[in-house]
Chains A and B, each alone.
Chain A
């Protein structure tokens, strides 16, 4: 469950923003407010995600409408750039520099003095676990290390807002886990992060708050489970593994308030589709507590997750 943010000013607000490239439309009349905290940005390829990211990092100017980041317009506003850290998807480095040199050079561009820059660079590299390889040339780094050095340059100036495009790409499972943990920690520490990824289960590990873009428009925004509940066309699916599934099933059918739409049996379990999840889950909890209909061992919802939300919403 997400803790409620106390600061309610949105970190990104877009009002009737459109962006087109000649005939091709990247974003089509998009209005959205992204709250502080960690937000997952998703959508199919070519849906407008990268356009959106380029707009909020000030790389592109909207054809129409206004984009504000951290309360101020972002286009040609260098003051704000310093408060944003961007980790792009592309790989482009000076291969001959060492990790430390590169991060230090980039943070000096932000106006830090030599000593400050060195300290900041070291801290950033330590945060991404790269201090061991800090003095090796980037050309010798593995894919995962290159990714981490990109992350380091995004957070070296301690920005208020981080924008990360496929930050885990190329990382091995341990690196992925550490980075996810890092992102969650930053969120807890009060930073705001917008993460774009195609790997839905990883977004789910980072946050419950998403922004789904498709066909140049916003398809859904907010908490995954709340969004799920609003998808009427697909009633809630609940998997109940029990000692005696049929006895349990009979009890479900007995009660019209549960609004059982359909039922299906699997090995040792019954899968129920219900139109009234609140009433249904409350009943299952009671039944499991009393044990009146046999023990209930497992209650899960196979489609109350980001994968299902994505599937149902994106045609």
Chain B
């Protein structure tokens, strides 16, 4: 299979609102980001794939199984990490995760073994005998990931996995997600508003807007090639240097931000012109590289914003 998830002409109607309008999309194997403004239909799509919501029209396949016909078989092979806080009341971490393993069909002892392993993997090893209700935000996020992994799923749905975590926690969570997607052979669909997180962990994206697919594909392809614009940061007399660049015919932008953008016209050659100007003027170039469109630019263009 080349696509882990496929939607064909899927329509979902909530009351008067068409949450998904005749959506056809493919999620490739590996790590795919699911992006879109609020209300675009992302959560409706996830909920339809999980079987929480039945589409009014269309067909969906997950891991080569039809969602309408084999929902249980699908759920045995996927893991879901919900966005909001969720746990089973009155259990400690190990019991909770082992319970989830058993619900997914693992025998009791295997479920317990997997629970310990997975809890160590997500970084909750030391806290695994504590009641989940005493956990901090970061720990709650990790245990949600643990319960999604305990039965060794082939596909993970992650909804805002770094929600509420502090910088260290975010970094560790993103490392885990990246590890799972790139090194451990688990396909994943990551829904998030934090585009740099998606860029770090995913290779493909699907962008939704107003119930339809706005664009989809590999991130690199969507970004497109670099142009004549360069990111630049210098140390030295900024005002003077900007004047010099202007004199030489190089346009600058965002000069009060940490990293500015410089456009080098054809007549001046390439980026070496910037180095020459800097060396001549006596400032250090601390950061220079071709300015690539970011995932944010891809996103903005896809939904028609400037």
Contact = CB atoms under 8 A, between A and B. Distances in A.
The answer to whether any beta carbons of A and B sit under 8 Å apart in the complex is yes
B284 A291 contact: no
Interface string A253-296: 00000000000000000000000001001101110111100011
A173 B299 contact: yes
A299 B193 contact: no
B171 interface: yes
B275 A199 contact: no
**Which label, helix, strand, loop or mixed, suits the secondary structure of the B interface?**
mixed
Given A288-B275, A289-B275, A300-B289, A278 B235 contact: yes
Interface stretch (B36-44, B59-67, B146-154): B36-44
Interface stretch (A56-64, A71-79, A93-101, A200-208): A200-208
A142 B43 CA distance: 13
B130 interface: no
Interface string A222-264: 0010000000000000000100000000000000000000000
Interface residues on A, range: 35 or more
Contacts of B290: 297-298
B303 interface: yes
A144 B38 contact: yes
Contact of A289 (B38, B164, B272): B272
Nearest to B232: A299
A300 B287 contact: yes
Interface residues on B, range: 35 or more
Interface string A169-207: 011111111000000000010000000001111001100
Contacts of A176: 193
Contacts of A307: 167, 171
A289 B258 contact: no
A45 B285 contact: no
Interface in B267-294: 271-272, 275-276, 278-280, 283-290
Given A204-B258, A289-B280, A314-B168, A172 B286 contact: no
The 10 closest A-B pairs by CB, nearest first: A289-B279, A288-B275, A281-B284, A142-B38, A172-B37, A289-B275, A298-B289, A289-B276, A45-B166, A285-B285
